[in-house]
A and B are shown apart, each in its own frame.
Chain A
């Protein structure tokens, strides 16, 4: 009896969270002119479309959102690759060596990268402008590559790698970069994927920075382009919803694909 009531409660909550998403998907499958048609009174048709059409999605290809989504993918991918290189080497430096002031350096690095860079976005964007980085992919990617959580997570993982392995490697003639490349990295796949996911999600969800630094047609990112759609003389909500679905589904697929590592990385940051 208790189990059933728990199940019902869980179901109610689950559906409550899911309804807005379902409504968005449904409306992305019908013409924008019908967005508000099924709301008063509410019926099952509000959430289900029996004659779905993909016209909004094909229109999306020719709208700024299409290009912007590609930009978002490119920028996020570059952030993950470069960010992992920067964060993993830093974590290695902080985990594999004993030196005076290690704790202090670790503190400073993680602490300053934990400050969300949105806080500093306005002076940073002024500087990027002086450096001619406005409306460049480099300008969009750079601020995302240092991530305090990623460094922290990787270092924790690296600390668990036994010292004997390193010594054996050194005896085999590996340089320190070799130790990093051939011993640490292969052993740390879960942590690398977890950190990569963090870098990816961070960049994919960014809004303030892309708004400040990349608003021309060739460099605009998905979320900014989507919010721009809303300001047009005649808002086509079908298109807006289709864009929202695309910008949500892409990270969802990535998260789902790496779900195991995601949960693992999530739990090892806050818990261990």
Chain B
């Protein structure tokens, strides 16, 4: 990537800078070093969540490691991928630690954007679930440490369902509702329960959220082949799932034009009967004025229950000049049960560390008083029986971008079969440059 062709202009730009009277704060960039860097100082940590989420873990870490400070920078999820690609390929020393979505580990590692953490392998194997252990590996090396795990719940508006005379779903995973049931009940709530919409998924254009729809119908993950670079999004399962999904918007059951993560307020305002969201909502919705409850995520009639899983890991930027401190923080926030628990106290999400998880899961029942009763049992059940990870592929980042646009178009009324065919073509094109 580095080219000498333009070394001359570097002199020119230095001259221009001198001329302009402002010097750039530049350090020579370089390859990843094993140099741990200074013992004390300030490390920067970049992620997608609100700053408040990480305040407790940063405080706990700073208390335990006097002399080290951590500053957190948020980049919204929509911009995170593109911005991080730019900054990491610039060998930006301004990022020491960053959050890594588990399926992206392969590509980031292949591009040299993650520091090899394989010396922690044995510890990681015992501290995390087998699937978390596996997804943070690429080519037999460990590149990032799992921080969180996730699942999805079906939230329902109790008042609206009662008004529409619908018996709400129960928290028992054995009595899980089907999407067909949810749709019918949602329509009743729109007619008689006073809600504007029947059903809304929290991230309506995210692969994480929609993969389970296709998997429930046996459609597979959408990626196949030995190198995991062959698109398979035109299976019957994908087609059927997307037809159904597109129809929920066409019929007005779900609203168009409200983007991912602007969806929660719609449920909190009482405008929708059913909402599919994550563990963080267990607490967020607690402050809303409406009465609600939780149930397991639905599946398709005739299909099998499938739920999403996986979440953010933490990785170290190889360009960081503070590898030692960065690793200390990463280890504290994941391998140390207390540190890992601290990452989940503001935004309620499942800690990946098994020790932390044991303490955490039972509390989930009471995040919002009686409303969240049953959440703990659902979480345990899903992780043992229904959780399906997102596919591991060096092409996952492109896959997610392409599918995100396809989901947006299907949501807005494009014929789903044709759009999936289009996605296959776009994936083939995008992956050509990787192969």
Contacts and interface: CB of A to CB of B under 8 A. Distances in A.
Touching chains A and B, CB distance < 8 Å: yes
Interface of A: 64, 78, 82, 125, 127, 129-139, 141-142, 145, 211-212, 215-217, 228, 230-235
B288 to A, nearest CB: 11
A264 to B, nearest CB: 28
Contact of B6 (A130, A134, A211, A230): A130
Interface in B56-111: 71, 73-79, 83, 86-87, 89-92, 94-95
B73 A217 contact: yes
B159 to A, nearest CB: 19
Given A127-B9, A215-B87, A234-B284, A136 B49 contact: no
Contacts, number: 95
A139 B24 contact: yes
Given A231-B261, A234-B265, A141 B27 contact: no
B87 A228 contact: no
Interface stretch (B14-22, B186-194, B334-342, B425-433): B14-22
Given A142-B13, A211-B83, A215-B83, 7 more contacts: A127-B9, A136-B26, A141-B20, A141-B22, A216-B87, A216-B95, A217-B71
Interface of B: 2-3, 6, 9-10, 13, 16-17, 20-29, 44, 49-50, 71, 73-79, 83, 86-87, 89-92, 94-95, 261-262, 264-265, 280, 284, 347
A137 B3 CA distance: 24
10 contacts: A82-B21, A130-B2, A132-B27, A132-B29, A133-B24, A141-B22, A217-B73, A228-B79, A233-B49, A234-B284
Nearest to B2: A130
Given A134-B90, A142-B20, A145-B20, A232 B76 contact: yes
Nearest to B3: A130
B90 A129 contact: yes
Contacts of B95: 216
A78, A228, A233, A234: residue with the most chain B Cβ atoms closer than 10 Å: A233
A41 to B, nearest CB: 15
A125 B9 CA distance: 14
A154 to B, nearest CB: 18
Nearest to A145: B20
A138 B262 contact: no
A134 B94 CA distance: 10
Nearest to B10: A131
B79 A129 contact: no
A130, A141, A211: residue with the most chain B Cβ atoms closer than 10 Å: A130
Contacts of A232: 50, 74, 76, 261
Nearest to A64: B74
B74 A138 contact: no
Contacts of A135: 87, 92, 94
B56 to A, nearest CB: 17
Contacts of A231: 76-79, 261
Contacts of B49: 233
A138 B26 CA distance: 11
B24 A136 contact: yes
A212 B86 contact: yes
Nearest to A233: B261
Contacts of A137: 22
Given A130-B2, A134-B92, A125 B26 contact: no
Nearest to B90: A129
